[in-house]
Amino acid sequence: MSGRHIDERLIEGCRRGDREAFRALFEACGDRVYSVCLHMLRGDEAAARDLTQQIFVDLFTTIGQFRGASEVTTWLHRLTVNACLDELRRRRRLVPLEEARLEEAPSPEDRAAADEAGDRARAIAAAVSKLRPKIRIAILLKHVEDLSYEEMAKVLRCAKGTVASRLNRGHRILARRLAHLRGPARGRG
């Protein structure tokens, strides 16, 4: 998200309360924020939509406090991470068994269904959704938001080594769970 169609003039417009600037900022970042929410909430489109709305309302309400594109995008990432993790915590209290299923390997039925549908993207999304939240958010910040290790450490408030370790662990789990997928990668949908 960093730097994608976001320049200082756009941020200055948002700081002044210009709705067109807000809209441009949403258009530059909205898809990726929504995608992170959607993957974090295991494909729950309604909840991802609500969360994205809340994140942008919070961003636009507080944007006057920030100077410069990098501060604003860091803040947006942090809002996204906090909103997703808070929502998962809330759900865990409501459905305590849900997290217990996170580390389970995909069932043969899941695998067969994914193979049968030939839907590689769905299989990857399903595997991502089964990662533990801290690992999942790291994978999404890296591969959806395209953040550097340093940016991720700042957003997640941890050391760069921790970021690297979570990513490494996440990649290995994905490789293991998606071992049945073969063939070259396709372009992004």
Partner 1 sequence: MRRDAARRGMELAREIRIVAAPAGLWEEIEAGLEKGRRERTAPPPRPGRRLVPGLAIAAGLLLVLLAAGLYGILRRPVTGWVASPLDGAPQIASGRLTTPSELRVGEWLTTDGTSRARIALPGLGRVEVEPGSRVRLARSRLTEQRLDLERGALDAVILAPPKIFVVSTPSASAVDMGCAYRLAVDAAGRGSLRVTAGWVALEKDGREAVVPAGALCAIRPGRGPGIPFYENSPSSFREALAAIEENAAPTEARRAALDTVLAAASARETLTLWHLLRAVGPADRGAVFERLGALSPPPAGVNRAGIERLDERMLRLWKNDMLRVWLSGQPRDDFMKRWTSLWGYLKEGLDR
| Positions that interact with partner 1 (CB under 8 A) | 19, 22-23, 26-27, 30-35, 38-39, 45, 49, 52-54, 56-58, 60-62, 64-67, 70-71, 74-75, 78, 120-121, 124-125, 127-128, 139-140, 142-144, 153-154, 157, 168, 170-176, 178, 181, 185-186, 188-189
**31 vs 103 by CB, closer to partner 1:** 31
DSSP structure class, residue 146:
-
At closest approach, how far in Å is the CB of 100 from partner 1?
22
**5 vs 95 by CB, closer to partner 1:** 5
Q: Who's near 130: CB < 8 A, 6+ residues apart?
A: 101, 102, 103, 104, 106, 177
At closest approach, how far in Å is the CB of 148 from partner 1?
14
At closest approach, how far in Å is the CB of 138 from partner 1?
10
Q: Who's near 178: CB < 8 A, 6+ residues apart?
A: 123, 124, 127
**Would you say 140 and 39 are in contact if contact means Cβ atoms under 8 Å apart?**
yes
- 13 vs 185: CA distance, rounded Å: 40
At closest approach, how far in Å is the CB of 144 from partner 1?
6
Token code pair at residue 115: 């193979």
